Amino acid sequence: MFHIPANSLIAKFEYSTFQMKKIFTASAIFCFLISCSSPKYKNPHVLIKTNYGNIEMELYPEQAPKSVAAFLSYVDAGYYKNSSFYRALNDENQPSGSGGIALLQGGTWKTKPELHHLPGIPHESTKKTKILHKNGTVSLSRQAPGSASTEFFICIGDQPGFDFGGNNNPDGQGYAAFGRVVKGMDIVKEIHNQPVNGESLVTPVVIKNIERL
């Protein structure tokens, strides 16, 4: 019978163990890299950072591709760094019979006048996107349809008057909703409840930045 020396068996066992460790380590690294490269969410999420706390929003590129693409391009360009929430609509500063409008508006309007002349975003109405103005919905502020850019607002309570065909805009096209708040509505309401002069916050609340998650 052929005899294998004990020290050879030990060497082979140690070699096999070493090889298995290498394979396991490589597999672990591969899995880690895959998990890192995989999107964390199905839809893009962004974080609004303020001194009152953070507000997390989910965006809907499949339903509102142009609005989301434009908003994210502003985020990536750093436009929202040191911008602000500056406007709060509520029952007290809206005409009686207006339907209980409540929203918080923010963006670069008060802080970065050089961005006032950005090209308008093509209007994506709620009739097209099916994203209705419910509590926490995020939408683009505008004058005429297609004039929206960096300014956005967050609905506080359901606001059907902002939808296509609603009575809060004379042209009947409504506003372009493109996302919703998924965390931090308590922060939105706290900011919304700050003192106002007319429709403007007496002290605008600094948006330190908006970042992708």
Residue 75 has pLDDT above 60, yes or no: yes
Enumerate the β-bridge partners of residue 146: none
pLDDT level of residue 154 (50, 70, 90 thresholds): very high
Among residues of the chain, what percentage have pLDDT more than 90? 75
Enumerate the β-bridge partners of residue 53: 50
Residue 10 has pLDDT above 70, yes or no: no
* pTM across the whole model: 0.81
Residue 26 has pLDDT above 60, yes or no: no
- Strand ranges (DSSP E) for 90-151? 103-107, 137-140
pLDDT for residue 100: 80
* Separation in Å, CA 54 to CA 24, 80, 99, 134, 211: 39, 14, 29, 20, 11
Tokens representing 180?
């919703």
Contact of 104 with 185, CB cutoff 8 Å = no
pLDDT for residue 3: 52
CATH topology for 45-212 is: Cyclophilin (2.40.100)
Nearest to 179 by CA among 27, 55, 17, 14: 55
Contact of 59 with 72, CB cutoff 8 Å = yes
pLDDT for residue 9: 45
**Range 168-173, long-range pairs (CB < 8 A, 24+ positions):** 168/98, 168/99, 168/101, 171/144, 171/145, 173/123, 173/125, 173/145
Least confident of 1-15, 42-56, 73-87, 190-204: 1-15
